[in-house]
Structure 1
Amino acid sequence: MTKQKKAKPISTGVVGLDTILRGGLPPSNLYMLQGAPGAGKTTAALQFLLAGVEAGERCIYVSLSQTANELALIAASHGWSMDGIRIEELSASDAVNGSSDQTIFQTSELRLDETRQAIEKAIDEYKPSRLVYDSLLEIRLITGDSPRFRRELIGFKAFLAKRNVVALLLDTQDGDGRNGEEVEGIAHGVIRFDKSLEDYGAVRRRVEVSKMRGVPVADGYHDMAIREGQGVVVFPRIVADAAVEAKPTELIKSGVDTLDSMFGGGQEAGTITLVIGQSGTGKSTMASLYSCAALERGESVALFLFEERLETFFRRSEGLGMNLRPYHESGQLIIRDFNPNEISPGEFAQIVQTIVTNDDSRVVVIDSFTGYLNSLPHREKAVRDIQSLLKYLARAGVLTMLIVAQHGLLGQNVGLDVDVSFLGDTVLLLRLTEHDGRLRRNITVVKKRHGPHDLEVHELLIAGSGIKVVPYNPLPEP
């Protein structure tokens, strides 16, 4: 038997969604895009047609729920042109052809027939390769019952199949997301947009490809957003196996010999270090120290700030003799300053992955990991999501440093209600103690999975002249 050649998929026009679909949609089929009002269905539909226009295809937007002017306004808000897209503006509630000989109130059968005929006529005249049908809700209301609605959809599917049209049908879901259950079996694929509003912060959006025949899609939820000028953007979940396995490299050093000796000579590439401590113990200083040493070796560093402002970071580092501004200006030091409430775990993971891949970063710092997790509504899920990112970074041979704060100014408990200790290959503990009328900073390596390490408590000295780690001398016994 001759093996049938697999048809080339067509792009959805949505960044990230094609990745989930392993290249795009199989051609000449009917697909459903479901979601609540405001989930982004219309924007994604326009992107689908614009991708067709860019590919030189004929595209038509059949609108039963929005006017051509409304669609033009949506496109204009992103700076898009509707040139090349035919808008077929219909009404499923009134007589499409203007006839009212029967009565001033048309029967549902007549309205349905006239709507269908007008759509089929427009398709036969324009001969599109891509079609958006917006929306199935109006047709469902006319038919009134599921069997009649299914028959109508099956007939429309057969009509499109004869003309090799790939169609995207928009369907508005209710609060339970159940409106499309009676017709999902008819569609070749079903994509769901999910929108939720937490107690505080921006709207959270997700996408799920709940069905796609013949395509091994990346199932489950993926974060998404609507960006001005970009439209709908999808952030596929990070797959650790996607990273190219890095070759073993030399130990990563801090530039402070006594600190490196505590780690048995330095830290291994491809490991995760948790830097845990109270406020003022020098957690961010450790991050700056390792970043500066890597930059001086000519390596690229990526720093992600969730609490400290960029200018504050630079001034604090400069006060310790580490001038990082020139590295940032040259692009060797990449810094992203986030508003935690405006970014999803999926988007953050994709930003980190892109930077590490494009710039070959060898050291990545998240400062603070506590602030990042505390900004998310479901922290236990966020830890699971970021674990995939950390595995990706480890496979890529990156030293990842997570700054973890403790409760309160002098508190002893980690400021999280979820366990993150398992994330770290290495744990560096910083503490404050009182000695002879002053506070002393203590530094200890409490865990290191790879190789030997020093279990002794040392003192961390932070001054304008630099950073030192010296043996800890406790008070003599009375």
Structure 2
Amino acid sequence: MTESKTPPPISSGIPGLDEILRGGLPPSNLYMLQGAPGAGKTTAALQFLLAGVAAGETCIYVSLSQTKSELESIAHSHGWTMDGIRVEELSASDSVNGASDQTIFQTAELRLDETRQAIERAIEEHRPNRLVYDSLLEIRLITGDTPRFRRELIGFKAFLAKRNVVALLLDTQNGQSMNGEEVEGIAHGVIRFHKSLEDYGAVRRRIEVSKMRGVPIADGYHDMAIREGQGVVVFPRIVPGAVVEQTQPELIKSGVAMLDDMFGGGQESGTITLVIGQSGTGKSTMASLYATAALERGESVALFLFEERLETFFRRSEGLGMALRPFYESGKLIIRDFNPNEISPGEFAQVVQGIVSTERSRVVVIDSFTGYLNSLPHREKAVRDIQSLLKYLARAGVLTMLIVAQHGLLGQNVGIDVDVSFLGDTVLLLRITEHDGRLRRNITVVKKRHGPHDLDVHELFIRSSGISVVPYNPLPEA
């Protein structure tokens, strides 16, 4: 008895979506792509067909709502060409000549029949492998009632199945027809694009694969964006279990003996360190210190800036004897300078994961974690979302340093209104104290989950000659 093999999935043409679908779309089926106007449906549909063209397939775009020139304009805005895609322009609202003497019901029936026959003729003539139907709204309008609309979809699905056509139907409604009846059950899979506006900043876009028969999809929401030259890009949520966990942690040293001793010999790989302090205490300097030590050992370091400009970072480090610019130019130090309002948690996680997996970075710094969280509309959710990224980095054996600011020059209030202390395996507290007209920087390891650490308060000196840590001695009384 010969075992039947499951045909391989086909690419959706959308980066990230195939990952959510565990390889792509099951072939020879009908799918719905739902979303409000402006959500990116047409752009995604063009990507779907362009992937077919690249695979040598015949592709048709059946348009009841947009002209060929409009589609070409969308493609041109991304630097794409419509070569290889046949556009069939139909008009569901005016497909019957001389219909003015018909009743409303007869006119709708005739228009529906004419539209269906025109689509079927195009499919029979050109034998496409992929087809986009844009959009179901026009068919809804001329059918007028849900039972007829359902029968039309079921009949169209059967017609396509006999000809092994993979069809993508665009729909502006989310699963509910005019009287509320469910129609998603007809499709093999349903993909939804969500678009929302926050009080300030860019539009937030998300994708949800709400249904996909026979595929163990990564369900739930995933961030997405529409990028010039790329089209729709999807950022799947991080899955920490995809990384083999490092069995034996290594000690990562700072290059300052006293500081390493405070951590019991050094910080462990595969851990998260919160560096907390007021402005001017040396938080970013600590990050630069560990980055410099790792780079001088020949390791790769990734630094993600949300507040400090790149040139400011280099000049500050160089002023303390840490020449990081040559490492950046050679590619060993990877720096990404973000505009916080222009990046979603999902995209940020994908950027970090991509750099760490490609460059095998040993130290990752987010400076500042406060700036990253404050740029997001729902910070409490952002903390939850970033946990998956931090677990991924920990299992990859990366030392991750999160710079967390406190309010005020001498204040002790953390600069975010959500609790982040549970994220850290290690907490390094930096403070400024005043004694007899002099400001002194103090440094203390207040938490370390693994192994011993020094609980004593030490004094931190930041000079042009370098960084030093010494036991804290109270100044003598006058």
Sort the TM-score into its range (normalised by shorter chain). over 0.9
Instruction: Give the count of matched residue pairs.
Output: 475
Task: Give distance in 2, aligned partners of 1:253 and 1:429.
Answer: 18
Alignment-derived partner of residue 346 in structure 1:
346
Residues 2-401 of structure 1 aligned to structure 2 (within 5 Å): 3-95=3-95, 98=97, 100=99, 102-103=101-102, 107-173=107-173, 178-179=176-177, 182-401=182-401
Task: Tell me the amino acid that sits aligned with residue 58 of structure 2.
Answer: R
TM-superposed CA distance for 1:405, in Å, is 0.3
| RMSD between aligned residues | 1.6
Q: For the structure 1 residues 101 and 278, does the alpha-carbon distance in structure 2 shift closer, same or farther, using more than 3 Å as the test?
A: closer
TM-score by length of 1: 0.97
Matched position secondary structure for 2:194: strand
TM-superposed CA distance for 1:6, in Å, is 1.2
- Does residue 456 (structure 1) correspond to residue 456 (structure 2)? The answer is yes
Task: Tell me the amino acid that sits aligned with residue 45 of structure 1.
Answer: A
Task: Give distance in 1, aligned partners of 2:79 and 2:377.
Answer: 33
Task: Tell me the amino acid that sits aligned with residue 473 of structure 1.
Answer: N
Task: Give distance in 1, aligned partners of 2:40 and 2:188.
Answer: 21
Matched position secondary structure for 2:268: coil
Tell me if structure 2 keeps the 8 A contact 1:320–1:464.
Answer: yes
Task: Give distance in 2, aligned partners of 1:392 and 1:315.
Answer: 32
Alignment gaps of 5+ in structure 2: none
TM-superposed CA distance for 1:104, in Å, is 10
Task: Give distance in 1, aligned partners of 2:181 and 2:127.
Answer: 30
Task: Give distance in 2, aligned partners of 1:308 and 1:58.
Answer: 50
Tell me if structure 2 keeps the 8 A contact 1:62–1:134.
Answer: yes
Alignment gaps of 5+ in structure 1: none
Structure 1 window deviating more from structure 2 (321-330 vs 101-110): it is 101-110
After superposition, what is the alpha-carbon deviation per residue over 1:226-282, rounded to whole angstroms, capped at 9, x for unaligned? 000000000000000112323425310000000000000000000000000000000
Task: Give distance in 1, aligned partners of 2:274 and 2:233.
Answer: 32
Task: Tell me the amino acid that sits aligned with residue 269 of structure 1.
Answer: S
Task: Tell me the amino acid that sits aligned with residue 37 of structure 2.
Answer: P
After superposition, what is the alpha-carbon deviation per residue over 1:97-137, rounded to whole angstroms, capped at 9, x for unaligned? x4548559771111111111111111111110000000001
TM-score by length of 2: 0.97
TM-superposed CA distance for 1:476, in Å, is 5.1
Matched position secondary structure for 2:250: coil
Task: Give distance in 2, aligned partners of 1:392 and 1:160.
Answer: 43
Task: Give distance in 2, aligned partners of 1:47 and 1:332.
Answer: 35
Matched position secondary structure for 2:13: coil
Task: Tell me the amino acid that sits aligned with residue 437 of structure 1.
Answer: G
After superposition, what is the alpha-carbon deviation per residue over 1:42-96, rounded to whole angstroms, capped at 9, x for unaligned? 0000000000000000000000011111000000000000000000000110025
Task: Tell me the amino acid that sits aligned with residue 138 of structure 1.
Answer: E
Tell me if structure 2 keeps the 8 A contact 1:146–1:182.
Answer: no
Task: Tell me the amino acid that sits aligned with residue 154 of structure 1.
Answer: I
Structure 1 window deviating more from structure 2 (466-475 vs 54-63): it is 466-475
Task: Give distance in 1, aligned partners of 2:155 and 2:103.
Answer: 28
TM-superposed CA distance for 1:477, in Å, is 7.2
Tell me if structure 1 keeps the 8 A contact 2:146–2:181.
Answer: no
Task: Give distance in 1, aligned partners of 2:245 and 2:423.
Answer: 19
After superposition, what is the alpha-carbon deviation per residue over 1:389-440, rounded to whole angstroms, capped at 9, x for unaligned? 0000000000000000012333211111111100000000000100221110
Structure 1 window deviating more from structure 2 (408-417 vs 31-40): it is 408-417
Task: Tell me the amino acid that sits aligned with residue 39 of structure 2.
Answer: A
Task: Give distance in 1, aligned partners of 2:44 and 2:73.
Answer: 14
Q: For the structure 1 residues 405 and 181, does the alpha-carbon distance in structure 2 shift closer, same or farther, using more than 3 Å as the test?
A: farther
TM-superposed CA distance for 1:160, in Å, is 0.5
Task: Give distance in 2, aligned partners of 1:236 and 1:61.
Answer: 28
Matched position secondary structure for 1:413: coil
Tell me if structure 2 keeps the 8 A contact 1:253–1:290.
Answer: yes
Q: For the structure 1 residues 185 and 456, does the alpha-carbon distance in structure 2 shift closer, same or farther, using more than 3 Å as the test?
A: same
Task: Give distance in 1, aligned partners of 2:459 and 2:435.
Answer: 12
TM-superposed CA distance for 1:5, in Å, is 1.3
Matched position secondary structure for 1:418: coil
Task: Give distance in 2, aligned partners of 1:430 and 1:150.
Answer: 65
After superposition, what is the alpha-carbon deviation per residue over 1:180-203, rounded to whole angstroms, capped at 9, x for unaligned? 962100000000000000000100
Matched position secondary structure for 1:303: strand
Matched position secondary structure for 2:430: strand
Task: Tell me the amino acid that sits aligned with residue 367 of structure 1.
Answer: D
Tell me if structure 1 keeps the 8 A contact 2:176–2:183.
Answer: no
Task: Tell me the amino acid that sits aligned with residue 331 of structure 2.
Answer: G
Alignment-derived partner of residue 438 in structure 1:
438
TM-superposed CA distance for 1:385, in Å, is 0.9
Alignment-derived partner of residue 427 in structure 1:
427
Tell me if structure 1 keeps the 8 A contact 2:249–2:270.
Answer: no
Tell me if structure 2 keeps the 8 A contact 1:64–1:92.
Answer: yes
